[in-house]
Amino acid sequence: MSFQKGLRLLTQMTGGSGTQNILRHNSSNGSARSLKMITKHYDEITIPVPWGHIAGKWYGPKHVRPILGMHGWQDNAGTFDTLAPLLPPHLSFLSIDCPGHGLSSWLPPGIIYHSIDYVLLIRRIMEEYNWDKVSIMGHSMSSINGFVFSALFPDKVDMFIGLDVLKPPIRSPRHIVTGLSERLENALKVERRNRIGTEPPAYEWDQLVERLHLGTDKSVSMEACKFLLQRNAKPSTHEPHKYYFSRDSRLKNSLFYTLSIDVPLEMASRITCPHLFIKAKQAPYYERKEYYDATLAALRKNSQFEYHEVDGTHHVHLNEPEKVASIINSFINKCRPL
């Protein structure tokens, strides 16, 4: 991609509203391929929080309580750019940037990001909009946090859609202890670099796309990278025609849940809302499958739980949203019909 095209992608998101224009490939027989334009208007919004603001993209009418879309680790609200236009038109959809991601405020200096912060963030957003209930769609890290939130506050969730990661992964004691020591040490190193205020490494646009693609183990397709980079890259102030990743570098040393298998099993027993989970077949389980299967069995005791598998990578909802849209829409129309 040329510098001019890259710059246009970055500047498209600076206004207060926009129209999502997406070219999607359609194929009935796997060979002939045509293009279909899908268009959906959204408004850029900000939600006040004690340390600044949460940025997001609001699709649909403001008087309708939206489905709250939450992205994976180091991604942003752009993760739902291709799926949002395919969702039922009678509902609104609010895709947010979590703290330190996208266009949202970073946490104050000296703070380490932790998964539980994002669980509390859902309550903050509910209070800001005076919602008694929340509908959640979460991918990866946010699928985990949606699972935790639905267990901690079962009376506040009327619908939960999880994408690809079922629950907090279980780690061995050795992995937990080693990982904590490494992340805490690295967090101090990042703080020292941030105090100096140097700009992160900058890359040509095509290099930036490739780094994102490879950095996700090729889970995000080269074509789909642009949807994340619109909110995750800035032009370099020192090197013309180059860009850098603009998310908070402290995110790389985030602290995640360190739980025994008994805790997710207890959480699963407390989730009573309609719950849809979609697993990407070409994505890993991120833990020993026996832990995954045990929690899945516990979730199946909820008569309103649905489980589906689709072909695709960890970011199948972004790369090929049609594969999950029909499943999600059927679920939504049962839980929150017109």
Residue 123 near residue 243, CB atoms below 8 Å: no
Which residue type occupies 124? R
- Which residues fall within 8 angstroms of residue 46, CB to CB, at 6 or more apart? 53, 54, 55, 56
Residue 249 near residue 197, CB atoms below 8 Å: no
Question: Per DSSP, what are the bridge partners of residue 34?
Answer: 26
Active site residues: 140
CA distance 276 to 257: 22
